[in-house]
Structure 1
Amino acid sequence: MKKYVVLFEKSKDGYSAYVPDLPGCVAFGDTKEETEELIYEGIKFHIEGMEAEGLLVPDNKVESELMIFS
């Protein structure tokens, strides 16, 4: 099982999410919960498509850490 970092961004119209290690894998939704569901399905679909085309599915190379500044 592979694990990927998913980045979420809030905007005035809802939320977006993308996976830096899977270029083109993005999702948009009205709520964060909806966007989480959509990006989860999007990741599965993206990987299935890569495998079907015989492409190498990349490993997770992006790391994340929450840093708090005051």
Structure 2
Amino acid sequence: MNFTIEIEQEQDGRFLAEVINFPGVLAYGQTREEAIARVKALALRVLADKLEHGEIRT
């Protein structure tokens, strides 16, 4: 499974990363790399939860 991540820098300097097609999966970071790492971790947690609850077929 591939994720597409969009990143933008807020006016306060923080970075916002969002996984496209995964509603609500977004994370802030002080750096671009931190935001990406956080959103990847969140996406994996959401994916694991969906698998545990039978929402995704493997």
- Give a deviation string over 1:5-60, Cα, whole Å, max 9, x none: 11001112301111121111111111101101101111111100111111127xxx
After TM superposition, list the pairs within 5 Å mapping 1:6-25 onto structure 2.
6-13=5-12, 14-25=14-25
Of Structure 1 and Structure 2, the greater helix share is in: 2
Match of 1:31 in 2: 31
Gaps of 5+ in 1: 58-70
Runs (4 or more) in structure 1 with deviation over 4 Å come to: none
Flag the structure with more relative contact order, 1 or 2, with Cα contacts below 8 A and sequence separation at least 6. Answer: 1
1:46 aligns with 2:42: no
State the aligned residue count. 56
Match of 1:56 in 2: 56
Larger of the two Rg values belongs to structure: 1
Gaps of 5+ in 2: none
> What is the alpha-carbon root mean square deviation over aligned residues?
1.3
TM-score norm. by structure 1 comes to: 0.71
